[in-house]
C-alpha cells in the first residue's frame, strides 16, 4: 500500500491547525488563575513577538486573543460574553499584562476553566499572524508530535510486513537491524507461512501484526518460506522494537532502495546502517525515496543530505533580522554512485531541504512530481504544563538561493504516480520503475566507460 503522508514539524508540515480547545470541566485545583497560566501566557506572547520571522501587529494579536476567548466562552454555553477591549502598548510587558488581566477576568466572571481559557488565549495569539505553521500545541498534540518524530517502541519480532496481492500471504517487506528476526536470519521477501501454527493466508496486516507482537520475553514460532521452500520452524523471543524512520532493500540490478518516512532524531543513524547494509550487498546505485515525507528536524535534513553531498552548502537559513546562516555538508558522504531521489506533492520541508540540496549540487536526479513547497522553519517552545507553541522563525534557501516556499521543487524527470501504488514495489510503483530504468542506464554507461 501507499505510505500515508506524515505531517510533522520544525522544518516540517503543520501537525495541527491552530484551534480553540474544546471545553474541559474545571477541577478543584483549576478553579483559579495560577502562576503557570500567567507564565504560559507571558512566554507565548514573548516568543511570538520576538521570534516570529516577521514583525507582528500587537493590536491584531490582542484582538485575536479576545476573539478566541469569546469563541471559547460561547462554546461553554455563555450566550453573549462581554469582554473588555484590550489595547496594545509600546512596552511589551504592559501588553502581556493586558492579556493576563483579560483571561483572569473571564475566568472569574464566567466561572470558566482558567487553563482552558489560557489555551484559548494562546491559540488566539498564534492565529493572529495568519501563518498555518504557527500554532499552539496542547500537551497531547505536543506528545504526539514528539512520538511521531522520534518513533514509538513496542515489543515484537522486528519484521516489517506486507500482504502479497496474489497469494494473499503475509510477506517480509523489511527487517529491523539487530532485532529478533534479523538475528534469526529472516530476510526481505520471505513468506511468513504460519505464526504460532496459524496460516497467514488471508490475514490483514493488522491481524498479522497483532500475532507477531506481544509481551517482551515471550516466544513466537514462525514457519518461513523462501524461494518456494519451507524452512524449519524457528522460534523468536520478542524484544523491544523501535519504529524505524528508514527502510531499505535491494532492487534488481544491485540498486539500493532507501525510503525515509520522517526526518527524526535517529534518522541519520538509521540511514548510515541502511546504506552500510546495502553497500555490503554490492549496491551500484541508490534510490532515495522522499515521497509522502512531510519533514522533521533541520539537523536531520543536513545529516541525510551530507551522506550524498561531499562538500559545499546544504541550506541557508534567514531569520527575522535578515541574518543568513549557511550550513555546509558534514564531510560524511559515501562514495559517489548514481542517485535518484523520488519526490511528490507530499515531499515537504526537511524533505525539500534534502531534495533541493541534492538537485543544486548535481549529485543526484529528482524523479516524480513537484514537491509541496514549504520553505519556512519552525521552532518549538515547550511550556511549563507540557504544551508548546510552534512558531515560524525563519525561511530557508537552497544552495542556489532558491526560495521554494509555496512554489515547490520541480523534478528533473517528471513521472506520474500510478493508481493505487505500492511504494517500493517496482511492479506497482511506476515512479520507482522510472528511477530503476534511469539508474540501470547510468550503471550501463559507467560499465561501458570502464568505471
Q: Which residues are known to be catalytic?
A: 349, 360, 374
Of 245, 267, 271, the residue nearest 160 (C-alpha) = 245
Distance, in Å, from the CA atom of 212 to the CA atom of 219, rounded to the nearest integer, reads 10
Which grid cell sits at 326?
549557511
| Alpha carbon of residue 371 to chain centroid | 15
| Alpha carbon of residue 430 to chain centroid | 24
120 close to 20: Cβ distance less than 8 angstroms: yes
Which grid cell sits at 104?
483572569
Place of cell 552548502: 313
CA of 211: how far to CAs of 162, 208, 229, 305, in Å?
14, 5, 23, 38
β-pair type (135-137, 388-397): antiparallel
What DSSP designation does 85 have? P
269 close to 121: Cβ distance less than 8 angstroms: no
Of 25, 22, 97, 36, the residue nearest 65 (C-alpha) = 97
| Alpha carbon of residue 338 to chain centroid | 26
Which region holds residue 373: left if phi is over 0, alpha if psi is between -120 and 50, else beta?
A: left
Distance, in Å, from the CA atom of 34 to the CA atom of 104, rounded to the nearest integer, reads 9
Distance, in Å, from the CA atom of 98 to the CA atom of 400, rounded to the nearest integer, reads 45
Which grid cell sits at 300?
536531520
Backbone angles phi and psi of 289, in degrees to 5: -95, 110
Distance, in Å, from the CA atom of 150 to the CA atom of 264, rounded to the nearest integer, reads 5
- The radius of gyration of the chain from alpha carbons, rounded to an integer in Å, stands at 26
First to last CA, the chain: 37
Give just the sign of the alpha carbon dihedral 29, 34, 38, 40.
Answer: negative
Amino acid at each position: 500500500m501507499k505510505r500515508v503522508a506524515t505531517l510533522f514539524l520544525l522544518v516540517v508540515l503543520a501537525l495541527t491547525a491552530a484551534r480553540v480547545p474544546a471545553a474541559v470541566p474545571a477541577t478543584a485545583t483549576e478553579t483559579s488563575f495560577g502562576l503557570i497560566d500567567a507564565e504560559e501566557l507571558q512566554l507565548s506572547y514573548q516568543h511570538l513577538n520576538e521570534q516570529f520571522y516577521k514583525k507582528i501587529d500587537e493590536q491584531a494579536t490582542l484582538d485575536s486573543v479576545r476573539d478566541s476567548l469569546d469563541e471559547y466562552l460561547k462554546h461553554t454555553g455563555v450566550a453573549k460574553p462581554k469582554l473588555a477591549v484590550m489595547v496594545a502598548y509600546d512596552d511589551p510587558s504592559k501588553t502581556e499584562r493586558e492579556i493576563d488581566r483579560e483571561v483572569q477576568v473571564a475566568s472569574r466572571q464566567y466561572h470558566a476553566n482558567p487553563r482552558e481559557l489560557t489555551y484559548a488565549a494562546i491559540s488566539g495569539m498564534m492565529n493572529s499572524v495568519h501563518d498555518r505553521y504557527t500554532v499552539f500545541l496542547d500537551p497531547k498534540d505536543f506528545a504526539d508530535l514528539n512520538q511521531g518524530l522520534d518513533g514509538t517502541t513496542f515489543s515484537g519480532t522486528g519484521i516489517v510486513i506486507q500482504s502479497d496481492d496474489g497469494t494473499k500471504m503475509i510477506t517480509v517487506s523489511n527487517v529491523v537491524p539487530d532485532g529478533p528476526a534479523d538475528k534469526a536470519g529472516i530476510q526481505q521477501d520471505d513468506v511468513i507461512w504460519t505464526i504460532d501454527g496459524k496460516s497467514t493466508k488471508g490475514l490483514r496486516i493488522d491481524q498479522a501484526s497483532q500475532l507477531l507482537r506481544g509481551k517482551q520475553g515471550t516466544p513466537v514460532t514462525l514457519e518461513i518460506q523462501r524461494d518456494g521452500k519451507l524452512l524449519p520452524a524457528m522460534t523468536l523471543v520478542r524484544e523491544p522494537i523501535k519504529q524505524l524512520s528508514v527502510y531499505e532493500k535491494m532492487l534488481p540490478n544491485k540498486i539500493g532502495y532507501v525510503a525515509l518516512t520522517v526526518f527524526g532524531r535517529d534518522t541519520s543513524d538509521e540511514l548510515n546502517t541502511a546504506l552500510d547494509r546495502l553497500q555490503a550487498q554490492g549496491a551500484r546505485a541508490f534510490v532515495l525515496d522522499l515521497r509522502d515525507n512531510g519533514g522533521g528536524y533541520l539537523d536531520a535534513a543536513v545529516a541525510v543530505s551530507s551522506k550524498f553531498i561531499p562538500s559545499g552548502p546544504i541550506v541557508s537559513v534567514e531569520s527575522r533580522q535578515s541574518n543568513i546562516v549557511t550550513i555546509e555538508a558534514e564531510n560524511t558522504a559515501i562514495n559517489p554512485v548514481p542517485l535518484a531521489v523520488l519526490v511528490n506533492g507530499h515531499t515537504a520541508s526537511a524533505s525539500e531541504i534534502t531534495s533541493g540540496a541534492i538537485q543544486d549540487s548535481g549529485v543526484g536526479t529528482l524523479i516524480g512530481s513537484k514537491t509541496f513547497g514549504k520553505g519556512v522553519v519552525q521552532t518549538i517552545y515547550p511550556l511549563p504544563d507540557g504544551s508548546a507553541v510552534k512558531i515560524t522563525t525563519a525561511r530557508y534557501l537552497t544552495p542556489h538561493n532558491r526560495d521554494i516556499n509555496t512554489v515547490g521543487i520541480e523534478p528533473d524527470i517528471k513521472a506520474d504516480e500510478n493508481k493505487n501504488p505500492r511504494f517500493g514495489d517496482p511492479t506497482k510503483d511506476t515512479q520507482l520503475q522510472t528511477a530503476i530504468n534511469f539508474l540501470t542506464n547510468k550503471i550501463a554507461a559507467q560499465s561501458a566507460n570502464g568505471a
